[in-house]
A and B are shown apart, each in its own frame.
Chain A
Amino acid sequence: MSDVSTPKPSKQRSLWSDAFHDLRKRPTVIVSVVVLLVVFAIAFFPSLFTSVDYKQCDIALTKAGPVSGHPLGFDEFGCDLYSQAIYGAGPSIQLALMVVVITLLVGGFIGVLAGFYGRWVDAIFSRIVDIFSSVPFLLGSILLLAMFRDVDLPLISGQFELIIPAVLTLALFGWTNTMRLIRASVMEARSQDYVHAARSLGAADGRIMFRHILPNAMAPVVSLIPLSIGGLISAEATLSFLGLGIKPPSITWGIMISNGAGWFTGGYPRLLIVPSIFLIVTVLAFVLLGDAIRDALDPKLR
């Protein structure tokens, strides 16, 4: 990383643009960005990647090997494995993005409030965070999802209806991390000169919080976004594996892994390996990107 000391008009811009400058040159970043672009394309436009309908299954073709038009063969239900893996990307990615947006908004907002006002505001929210963090995440999710899996939600239909229960559950247990991080960095920023300056100029609390402090407090959270997307994709797969996520005939990598796990030593390792590779490569790309961003934003950790 080039020396940070080059004078720039504002500290904020220099940090971000330097980071960007740095990121662009790294091979891992380039590779993971390319992978993620492909994954997002797969998730949002699956029909570009396969013309086979993943719901069209012929049980007579159960576990059959690759044939022309079906490059990865078939799963135990006789569904095309490749198109299942392609269509399996969508729900996981959509879910992860939705959860990240919710946790950023909710956790960020509460974190700023708690960090800025301190005292009883902080005390109340910190206790709430304690409550959520003292219940093991997976147990809590299992409990919630088992209860609400069949509750009809108003106003939501189509594909989203399938992922909403999992989104809400993961968001419910996920916002506390964002909150803690933002709170800590807001507390740090609160006592800095530029905040005092803004205050003495008569800026309102709201303006100080969201215009001045937040952009600076975002750095630690930004580098965590790709990591948490990766983590959420894993979490979704775990819930699907436990039978609590999305239901068939919709498909996700977690369901595919769950169905394929037993066949691994039963003579058809392909049924586990294919979805595992899709899952691992995607999460790996997010992790690498996250690492790189964090390094770029906080060069001394490298």
Chain B
Amino acid sequence: MRTKRVMSAIAVAAIAGLVVSACGSGGDDAGSGSQELNLGLGEPKNLVPPNVGESEGGEVTRLVYSGLYTYNNDGSLKPVIAEGQPTSTDNKVWTIKLKSGWTFQNGEAIDANTFKKAWDYTVYGPNANSGSYFFNKITGFADTQSGADPDGDGPQKGAEPKAKELSGVKVVDPTTIQITLDTPWVVFPALLGYTAFYPTADACRAQIEACNEAPIGNGPFKFVGKWEHKTSIKLEKWSDYKGEQPSYQKLNFTIFTGSNNSQWAPFEAGSLDIAAPTPDKYESAKQKYGDRMIEADSPSTWSLGFPSYDNIYKDPKVRQAFSLAVDRQGIIDAIFTGRGKPLATFIPTMIPGYTEGTCATYCKTDPAAAKALLDSSTWPKGKKVELWINSGGTGEKILKAIGDQLAKNLGVEYEMKNIEWNDFLQKKQDHKLTGPFFTGWQPDYADSENYMGPLYYSGAKDGSDNDFGYYNADFQKLMDEGNAAPTIAEAHAKYTAAEKILTETLPVAPLYTGRTSTVIGDKIDFKSVDRNPILGGIDFVKIKLK
């Protein structure tokens, strides 16, 4: 559940409030026996835990693999293979105890060494695992990366990494792992439940491509056959699983790849057991299935990013004016039929470290104040606003609605710049976007720090190494202090102070968080459905079939 596909066509489903549907909705064999759950899924990119980067792959790997921890509904760690919480005296060296007796589905035993080998594989530069950045605060990470490429993009390759192993990870004994960080960081344990930290079997790493097609897992479900790309993934209960076992036998994912990858119609046609209605079908779905619908806010946030590197948008007043000109609730009502929640903070409610109303001043609609601010700013009269977005999807509708409101409330003309996704990402990174852009964030880990540090913190004084060209010395200082704080509570206090600075200077105008509406089919015992607000998905192990 990271940011991989935040803006891809499939994540546009997330904008539309379908995040859960990526996680849960249908197969094609409904009605053929009650021991089967049929769900829908977008095509995953990869199913090897260290390389899983988007919600689709995450959905499957979380069922087929188990890690040290998973998350409780409040974001706290719930031990799975680990015994108790990670401990540390200085927030720099963390110790994790393991349960013994766990194995992979091929019989390989799981101990501290398994994790070390798996993590060494994950971080080793040439393996190009997308999950490796989760480890970048662990001592020795830099040595496992490939050296600088001597001739840029030329044929010569960068130097071999200095180390094959992550020196910050030590096996103390078969049931104890010790992780050393470069600097103390109290938030670190929050990362440990993510798929990047999941173990992989030796047999899997030996033939990583085969393992991607038919995973050797250690979780409550195992693969039946292979991953039928763009068609289906079939799982069945692994009865030797040491943790919580599902009460039913089979779980089938039907993979949807069409441009209209809505799983709602197949749900209504009875071939999926769980699905989210598309926005336009929401009202009729609510009437028909209201009592079987789960509505919940999603942890991903959507914002209007500003190019602070641009001469015009450098002026915070322009950014404040734009933020005040947008009617967030109006957009949510019109485009999402009300399924969303306006953001008046940089952090969504369910995330540890959330403080209410931090952005009350500028994250509201006030056309008069907006106009006054714009008039007093350096905004050049008659300038056409260029709004940037990657093409294809509901995001385009949001941005058009924003443009309409800028036109109406500020009297500016606008133009949409819809470009290909790779072009958009590259231009964003290279600071070539010449106007506000639509941007989304799905958290890597459940802590307020993750909604600020990776996005607005800059190593350079001009903000040139973040996408927004944003730099604020006070913000940086507070974030540093938060990272070094001795307790989580103290860290959160610092982070909130840092967030206050963002709400005044607005590197982005926070817009909304999605709200997912998921309808649970009548084959499923509705009371058994448990949705985790942090992972944004339903716990398919706990689900009971009628």
* A and B together in one complex: yes
Measured CB to CB, the residues of A under 8 A from B are 55-60, 62-63, 76-79, 146, 149-150, 242-244, 247-249, 259, 262-263, 265-268
B419 to chain A, nearest CB (A): 5
- The distance in angstroms between the C-alpha atoms of A59 and B403, with both chains bound, is 11
A79 vs B407: C-alpha distance when bound (angstroms): 12
Q: For the complex, what is the distance from the CA of A77 to the CA of B420, rounded to whole Å?
A: 24
Contact B417–A59 (Cβ < 8 Å): no
Task: Assess whether A60 is in contact with B408, with CB atoms less than 8 Å apart.
Answer: no
Chain A residue with the shortest CB-CB distance to B417: A150
Closest residue to B330 on the A side, CB-wise? Answer: A59
Instruction: Name 27 interchain pairs, CB-CB below 8 A, sorted by A.
Output: A57-B401, A57-B408, A59-B330, A59-B331, A59-B333, A60-B330, A62-B330, A63-B334, A77-B397, A78-B334, A149-B391, A243-B396, A247-B416, A247-B418, A248-B400, A249-B403, A249-B415, A249-B416, A259-B397, A263-B280, A265-B280, A266-B278, A266-B279, A266-B281, A266-B282, A267-B280, A268-B280
* Chain A residues, Cβ within 8 Å of B281: 262, 265-266
Q: How far is the CA of A248 from the CA of B420 in the complex (A)?
A: 16
Complex Cα gap A243–B423 (Å): 16
Name the interface residues of B390-421: CB closer than 8 Å to any CB of A.
391-392, 396-397, 400-401, 403-405, 407-408, 414-420
Residues on the B chain within 8 Å of A63, using CB = 334
Q: Is B327 an interface residue, CB under 8 A from the partner?
A: yes
In the complex, the answer to whether B327 meets A59 with C-beta atoms within 8 Å is yes
B333 near A62 with CB under 8 A, answer yes
Interchain CB contact under 8 A, B279 and A77: no
- Which A residues touch B419, using CB under 8 A? 149-150
Interface centre among B284, B391, B405 (most CB of A within 10 A): B391
Residues of B within 8 A of A146 (CB): 391, 420
Interface readout for B127-162 with A: 1 if CB under 8 Å, 0 if not? 000000000000000000000000000000000000
Are the C-beta atoms of A248 and B416 separated by less than 8 Å? yes
Looking at the assembled complex, report how far the CB atom of A237 sits from the nearest CB atom of chain B, in whole angstroms.
16
**Contact, CB under 8 Å: A57 / B404:** yes
Evaluate contact between B416 and A243: CB separation under 8 angstroms: no
Which chain B residues in 245-287 approach chain A with CB under 8 Å? 259, 278-284
Chain B residues positioned under 8 Å from A77 (CB to CB): 334, 397, 400-401, 404
Question: With an 8 A cutoff between CB atoms, is B335 at the interface?
Answer: yes
Question: B282 to chain A: which residues have CB within 8 Å?
Answer: 266
Interface residue tally for chain B (C-beta within 8 Å):
33
B residues near A248, Cβ cutoff 8 Å: 396, 400, 403, 416
Measured in the bound complex, the distance between the Cα atoms of B407 and A179 in whole Å is 46
CB pair A249 B400 closer than 8 Å: yes
Q: Please indicate the chain A residues that have their CB under 8 angstroms from the CB of B418 in the complex.
A: 149, 243, 247
Query: Roughly how many angstroms separate A248 CA and B395 CA in the complex, as a whole number?
Result: 12
Q: B283: which A residues are within 8 A, CB to CB?
A: 266-267
| Set of chain B residues within 8 Å of A247, measured between Cβ atoms | 415-418
- B residues whose Cβ falls under 8 Å from a Cβ of A: 259, 278-284, 327, 330-331, 333-335, 391-392, 396-397, 400-401, 403-405, 407-408, 414-420, 423
CA A63 – CA B407 in complex, angstroms? Answer: 19
For B391, the chain A residues whose CB sits under 8 A away are: 146, 149, 243-244
Give the residues in chain A near B401, CB-CB below 8 Å: 57, 59, 77
Looking at the assembled complex, report how far the CB atom of A69 sits from the nearest CB atom of chain B, in whole angstroms.
Answer: 17
**Neighbouring A residues of B423 by C-beta, 8 Å:** 150
CA distance A150 to B422 in the complex (A): 13
In the bound assembly, the distance between CA atoms of A268 and B281 in angstroms comes to 10
Residue of A nearest to B405 (CB): A59
Residues from chain A with a CB closer than 8 A to the CB of B405 are 59
Contact partner, B279, options A58, A242, A243, A262, Cβ 8 Å: A262
B392 engages A243 (CB within 8 Å): yes
9 A-B pairs besides A76-B335, A243-B418, A249-B400 with CB distance below 8 A are A56-B408, A57-B408, A59-B330, A59-B405, A62-B333, A146-B391, A149-B418, A247-B417, A249-B414
Question: Who on chain A is nearest to B279 by CB?
Answer: A262
CA distance A114 to B358 in the complex (A): 73
**Which chain A positions have C-beta within 8 A of B327?**
59-60
Specify which chain A residues have a CB less than 8 angstroms from the CB of B403 in the assembled complex: 248-249
B residues near A243, Cβ cutoff 8 Å: 391-392, 396, 418
Known interface pairs A247-B418, A265-B281, A266-B280. Does A62 touch B334 (Cβ–Cβ under 8 Å)?
A: yes
Question: In the complex the two chains form, what is the Cα distance from A150 to B391 in whole Å?
Answer: 11
Q: Chain A: which residue is nearest B407 at the CB level?
A: A55
Taken together as a complex, chains A and B put the C-alpha atoms of A242 and B259 apart, in Å, by 9
> How many Å lie between the Cα of A77 and that of B334 in the bound state?
7
Which listed residue, A79, A259, A266, A267, touches B404 by the CB 8 Å rule? A79
Collect the chain A residues with CB atoms within 8 Å of residue B407's CB.
55-57, 249
Question: Chain B contacts of A265 at CB under 8 A?
Answer: 280-281, 284
Bound complex: CA A296 to CA B407 (Å): 51
Chain A contacts of B259 at CB under 8 A?
242
A63 to B403, CA, bound (A): 18
B414 surroundings in chain A (CB, below 8 A):
249
The 4 closest A-B pairs by CB, nearest first: A266-B280, A62-B334, A262-B280, A59-B330
Q: Which residue of B lies closest to A61 (CB)?
A: B334
Cα-based distance from A209 to B407 in the complex (angstroms): 55
* Chain A residue with the shortest CB-CB distance to B423: A150
State A62–B299 Cα separation when bound (angstroms). Answer: 27
Inter-subunit contact B404/A249 (CB<8 Å) = yes
Determine the distance from Cα of A98 to Cα of B408 in the docked complex, in whole angstroms.
33
Closest CB-CB distance, A149 to chain B, in whole Å? 7
B66 CB to closest chain A CB, in angstroms? Answer: 39
Specify which chain B residues have a CB less than 8 angstroms from the CB of A150 in the assembled complex. 417, 419, 423
**Nearest residue in A to B334 (C-beta to C-beta)?**
A62
Docked pose: A76 CA to B403 CA in angstroms: 14
